Amino acid sequence: MRSIVVLVAGLVLGWIDRALDLSRTFLVRWIGVKRLHWISKHLVPWSLLYWIGGTLRRNFVMWRNCGVILGVVLLTWKTQSRLLGSSGNGKMQTKWNVTAAVPLPRRLVYDNGLGKTPIMGWSGWNKYECKINEKIVFGNTDALVRHGLDQLGYNYVIVGNISQSHGFFGYYFLCLDDCWAAYKRDKQGNLKSHPTTFPSGMKALADYAHSKGLKFGLYSDAGRRTCIGHRAGSEDHEIRDAKTFASWGVDYLKYDNCFHKKHYYPHLRYPVMSEALNKSGRPIFYTICEWGEDHPALWAGKYANSWRTSLDVKDRWDRIQILADDNNMWAAYAGPGGWNDPDMLQVGNGRMSVAEYRSHFSIWSIMKAPLIIGCELRKIREEHLEIYKNKEIIDINQDPLGIQARKVSRQGRCKCREVWAGPLSGKRIVLALWNRDWRRVAIKVNWFDLGLEPGVSVRVRDLWKHEDWSERQQDGFEVAIDSHDCGVYILSDVRLTSDNVYVIADHVF
Ligand code: GLA
């Protein structure tokens, strides 16, 4: 973009130069030689006029040439660096080259002992945005507990014959997003909560969450101000703010990406808060929110427990699909301790159908995304609550193997009938048949797509219908799925044929 601006500026200067040149001719023609002589004799000496005109013109010619040459050089450099797969301005890789990077060896380990499975919780941002206050937060916390969302009973899982505890209790993170903070810090330079909307302060909210057996999450920004534009951010105050968060009893920090110093890229800014949190004396789950700008899957695993992979979620079918596809590219980088985050859940906000919400929840769960409820819990409708409470799907999300399922085939002329799959603990496979088409269609799964040998037979369980199929399946099967809906299945009891090995999503059993 910049190179085109320079090039156009050069050409414009060229036109001005040409216009000046012409205007001299016209001046002589319109004003007449006699009058010009009179002007130069009585008003401005002709030599001065001549000098000004000449200098101006020489300068214009010079700037035009510089603009054109610089523009062409910049354009060539940009095109070349794009072909080489780097944007050449300190960013890591351009988007279109990313798929090539995915199969490479991947995980980076940030071991603060947290996030062994994706976190689950509630946040008010998708529903209330900046119109939030402590009354709303208290009300939704009570509703979360009333609906039993915090106690879904997934505090252990079975791995083979061993029961492993990983300390999970359902949707148990209460997360405050933007707009909790005051416009300015206090006199000592500390962050403080907004006096009108959160008069009790953050410590009181954290205490309330803890008293209900929940964890408490807060939001800040790796810039001067938060994304809403007028609340204090944490840039250059990282150590002080991390200590403040710890003293309030914060268990989770979402760190956003607005109003930061120019050319100070995310992979330089985000580690600073990571270190500060580690030194704060309290284990704090750290989630990076830089919208996938700097391809965080490639570097954030060293510093954080999760990282956003794309734009903000919206309660819209097209946006859900974009986020799923963006997040899918980075599957190889997710795992216990560090997860890809396609943003929060919109189920219940009312702009999508129940089938679409089911797809949203299914794909987020199998992608091992953080499951953060983003709707009003005080008045949630039964069919939406049912989606959030599907324990069998949650169990996939919380599987201790922690491997992100990915898209393995696309069918139909539209390529919008999709098969997603991934390995689970206990030698099981999760399979999702996602119909992005506008009508009900049959979607087919072949063992080939899953890396299973032909002839291998499996048991199948449907996780939305909560039923086991009576017949074992061999080689594959086909299911009719409603428009925009998604079927989720577990394949288990895999009976192998020849080599006793199968591979799915790079994972060898
Ligand atoms: C950004 C983030 C959102 C939300 C808002 C708050 O847009 O991506 O998730 O936190 O800021 O202002």
Please give the number of the atom of ligand 1 that sits closest to the Cα of 228. Answer: 12
Per-residue pLDDT tens for 336-361?
Answer: 999 999 999 999 999 999 999 999 99
> CB 502: neighbour CB atoms within 10 A?
20
For a mutational test of ligand 1's pocket, the pick from 128, 178, 314, 326, i.e. the residue with the most ligand atoms closer than 8 A to its C-beta, is 178
Cβ atoms of 288 and 300 within 8 Å: the answer is yes
Please give the number of the atom of ligand 1 that sits closest to the Cα of 178. Answer: 6
Residue 251 has pLDDT above 60, yes or no: yes
The catalytic position among 207, 312, 482, 506 is: 312
Rounded to whole angstroms, how far apart are CA atoms 400 and 403? 8
Whether ligand 1 lies within 6 angstroms of the CB of 311 is answered as no
Cβ atoms of 432 and 405 within 8 Å: the answer is yes
Per-residue pLDDT tens for 485-499?
Answer: 999 999 998 877 655
Q: Per-residue DSSP letters for 452-478?
A: PPTT-EEEEEETTTTEE-SS-EESEEE
In sequence order, the β-bridge partners of residue 277 are none
- Catalytic, 449? Answer no
Per-residue pLDDT tens for 433-461?
Answer: 999 999 999 999 999 888 888 888 999 99
Q: Single out the residue of 287, 304, 286, 296 nearest to residue 326, CA to CA.
A: 296
The number of residues in the chain equals: 509
> Which amino acid appears at position 426 of this protein?
G
What spacing in Å lies between the alpha carbon of 308 and ligand 1's midpoint? 11
Per-residue pLDDT tens for 46-58?
Answer: 666 667 666 766 7
In sequence order, the β-bridge partners of residue 288 are 255, 307
What spacing in Å lies between the alpha carbon of 397 and ligand 1's midpoint? 24
Whether ligand 1 lies within 6 angstroms of the CB of 297 is answered as no
Whether ligand 1 lies within 6 angstroms of the CB of 289 is answered as yes
In sequence order, the β-bridge partners of residue 490 are 430, 461
Whether ligand 1 lies within 6 angstroms of the CB of 307 is answered as no
Rounded to whole angstroms, how far apart are CA atoms 413 and 419? 15
Whether ligand 1 lies within 6 angstroms of the CB of 245 is answered as no
pTM for the whole structure = 0.78
Please say whether the dihedral angle defined by the alpha carbons of residues 159, 163, 167 and 172, taken in this order, is positive or negative.
positive
What spacing in Å lies between the alpha carbon of 181 and ligand 1's midpoint? 14
What spacing in Å lies between the alpha carbon of 374 and ligand 1's midpoint? 13
Whether ligand 1 lies within 6 angstroms of the CB of 228 is answered as yes
CA-nearest residue, atom 1 of ligand 1: 227
Whether ligand 1 lies within 6 angstroms of the CB of 235 is answered as no
Per-residue pLDDT tens for 55-98?
Answer: 766 776 777 778 778 878 877 776 654 444 333 333 333 333 33
- Catalytic, 256? Answer yes
Overall average pLDDT of the 158-184 stretch: 73
Cβ atoms of 478 and 437 within 8 Å: the answer is no
Q: Single out the residue of 164, 220, 167, 163 nearest to residue 190, CA to CA.
A: 220
Helix and strand element counts for the chain (H, E): 14, 21
Rounded to whole angstroms, how far apart are CA atoms 13 and 201? 58
The catalytic position among 221, 256, 343, 399 is: 256
Whether ligand 1 lies within 6 angstroms of the CB of 238 is answered as no
Residue 37 has pLDDT above 60, yes or no: yes
Residue 140 has pLDDT above 80, yes or no: yes
Which structure tokens are listed for 243?
A: 């200590």
